[in-house]
Amino acid sequence: MFTRRALLLLAAQAGVMGTLAHHLYEMQVVHGDELKEQARRNRTSRRQIAPARGEIYDRCGVLLAGNRPNWRALVMAEETTDLQAVVDRFATIVPLDDRDRARIERDRKHIRRYVPLTLKEFLTWDDVARLGLNAPTLPGVLIDVGTTREYPFKELLAHIIGYVAPPNETDVQRDGIMALPGMKVGRAGLEQTQEVHLRGMPGTVEMEVNAYGRVMGELERVEGQPGARLELTLDTALQSRIRERIGDRVASAVVMDCRNGEVMGLVSTPSFDPTLFDGGISRTQWNALITDQGTPLVDKAVSGLYPPGSTFKPAVALAALKSHAITASERFSCPGYYDMGGVRFHCWSRYGHGAINLHQALKYSCDVYFYQVARRCGMEAIHEAAATLGLDGSLPIELPHMRAGSVPTPEMRRKHGHHWNGGDTVNAGIGQGLVQTTPLALATYASRLATGRLVQPHLLRSVSNQPVAQGFEPLPFANEFLAAARSGMFAVVNEPQGTAPAARLNLPGVQMAGKTGSAQVRNVPRALRESGHFNSMNLPWQYRPHALFICFAPYDNPRYAVSVVVEHGNAGATEAAPLAAQIMTDTLVRDPASRTSLSRGVVARADGLDE
């Protein structure tokens, strides 16, 4: 009996041991790799990390948009049993304001549980220390270091560089990567248009966690691929000097290299601080920006639409010459006014200019001459010439919210249900009425007049050290026609009785050609004009004409073109022309086009030009 019982017990033991051995075999041999991976996942947490955004530099290697460290607190929702309790406990250690709590609540609804939720950004060292001491009571909470956007020149380049902001729900739905902590989206300027290049590819980080979800340490980190490096055509020191020249005026100025279309200066004042938007702007700050009379959020250089005034006259001259409506030597009489259909159109000079040819008409900026020329050649020819010169339509520069100019024709107006009469053509002949354009278009126009080529403006010099190619076709105007327009612009600045003697350059052997313009923003009654007592400087600021000036230099070998628009500056000759001359002088002295690389230590201050 003892032997039988022993055998039964031995058999039972053997069966148990065999079953255990079978299970051990399956666990360690058959399913060993699978279970090992499950165990590893139980003790680790893997997540994606936002890549560093691409940096932006100017033509001299000066950093314009970079990144700085940003310590932040995250929580892994899938590693907590009560997320709200964790948030409340976190708030007792690092305070959360109403905006933080609203953001957390919004993100909880739209971010998946395996994506880290941002609790607080821009932590101080004291915040980090307190969170480290209280880590056992904060399951799923971890401290992470990312980057935040940094703009060293702030207001100086805000309209060009733009800014980044936290992604909204639409951004996250379009691309799930945007839900990662630290991801930002370009909302203006190059940050917006070059988003694809600047964003980069995310990396991964693997962390060790205990059974309660507390992070014990980092096991492995694979950094993401940073965004592309952008090199711009801008010269930051020149940009700074232009801004100083403009001062507190509401104005815009553009400097272009006539030969290759590189935009070296693009200033719009007033401006704003782009860093306000990185973490989310407050309602008070936003209201202050949108109610400012100077419209600081608008990039006037590319989005501001203005009547070009008399700066438009060279385009009208080319239209008339090309269509053979006039010759450069033909004379028109200016008694100080032009009557048509019972309406009197005045010249800026009450006493008139007598019988003058094209050269004199540009030199004196005679309105009556161009009234008659516009009627003779017709609006269709003017529209074609203006479009060729870049004044009508959007220019392919790498900025958002670019507004197109407008040089309408009778047919275009009729298609939109509007009547066209002869007075519309007469007004267009001096750049008034329905004609509108932007400061960037005016600089492009000056560049094309100077070189005779279809110069296209651009801001990108290279992307990840790959140059941006440019090539330009000749303008469809005969050389003698372009020479006649240039000669008249030369006379404006350099000959006696020209309208812009204040624009003459004080540089030995260098002369500049230009054209003044004053664009009315409201009609002046005929009786007031004819009284001889009207002075637009006596009007309130917002009713004064805009002051404009375009120019290129050196005259005999054009390298640079400049356009200036001073809002409500009253007269181009006295307000815009001297400013343009100062900017052109700074540009020629610095000669940015000849600079390919400079010492960052010398240039980085961008505190002006060497005198």
Residues recorded for the chain:
611
Residue 119, pLDDT > 80, answer: yes
Residue 538, pLDDT > 80, answer: no
Reply yes or no on whether 349 is catalytic: no
CB proximity list for 243: less than 8 A, separation 6 or greater: 156, 267, 269
Higher-pLDDT residue of 160 and 83 is 160
Question: How many whole angstroms separate alpha carbon 155 and alpha carbon 275?
Answer: 9
Confidence of residue 323 (pLDDT cuts 50, 70, 90): very high
User: Which pLDDT score is estimated for 529?
Assistant: 54
Residue 1, pLDDT > 60, answer: no
User: Which pLDDT score is estimated for 609?
Assistant: 38
Pick the catalytic residue from 240, 252, 271, 310: 310
53-67, 266-280, 401-415, 519-533: which has the highest mean pLDDT? 53-67
For residue 427, how far is the Cα from the chain centroid? 33
Place of tokens 């400097």: 255
Cα-only R_g, the chain: 34
Residue 537, pLDDT > 60, answer: yes
Q: Given CA atoms 180, 184, 185, 190 in this order, what sign does their dihedral have?
A: negative
- Mean pLDDT along residues 222-228: 84
User: Which pLDDT score is estimated for 5?
Assistant: 75
Question: How many whole angstroms separate alpha carbon 427 and alpha carbon 343?
Answer: 12
Residue 47, pLDDT > 50, answer: yes
Q: Which of 514, 470, 474 is nearest to 491 (CA)?
A: 514
Confidence of residue 556 (pLDDT cuts 50, 70, 90): very high
168-177, 288-297, 395-404, 503-512: which has the highest mean pLDDT? 503-512
Residue 600, pLDDT > 50, answer: no
CB proximity list for 85: less than 8 A, separation 6 or greater: none
Place of tokens 């279970």: 35
Confidence of residue 429 (pLDDT cuts 50, 70, 90): very high
User: Which pLDDT score is estimated for 120?
Assistant: 87
Model pLDDT for residues 324-337, shown as the tens digit of each residue: 999 999 999 999 99
Contact 583, 566 (CB under 8 A): no
Question: How many whole angstroms separate alpha carbon 400 and alpha carbon 489?
Answer: 32
Contact 549, 343 (CB under 8 A): no
What string of DSSP letters covers 238-278? Answer: HHHHHHHHHTTS-EEEEEEETTT-BEEEEEEES---GGGGT
Q: Which of 141, 89, 86, 146 is nearest to 122 (CA)?
A: 146
Confidence of residue 524 (pLDDT cuts 50, 70, 90): low
Model pLDDT for residues 459-485, shown as the tens digit of each residue: 999 887 777 766 689 999 999 999 999
Contact 568, 521 (CB under 8 A): yes
Strands of 37-88 (E only): list them: 44-49, 56-57, 63-75
pTM of the entire predicted model: 0.81
Q: Which of 479, 480, 559 is nearest to 513 (CA)?
A: 559
Contact 280, 476 (CB under 8 A): no
Question: How many whole angstroms separate alpha carbon 261 and alpha carbon 445?
Answer: 11
Residue 132, pLDDT > 50, answer: yes
Q: At what angle do helices 367-377 and 379-388 cross, to 10 degrees?
A: 100
Question: How many whole angstroms separate alpha carbon 300 and alpha carbon 460?
Answer: 20
Q: Which of 252, 258, 256 is nearest to 303 (CA)?
A: 252
Contact 315, 377 (CB under 8 A): no
User: Which pLDDT score is estimated for 275?
Assistant: 78
Model pLDDT for residues 354-367, shown as the tens digit of each residue: 999 999 999 999 99
Indicate the range of 263-267, 526-530, 544-548 predicted with least confidence.
526-530
Q: Which of 601, 609, 470, 611 is nearest to 61 (CA)?
A: 601
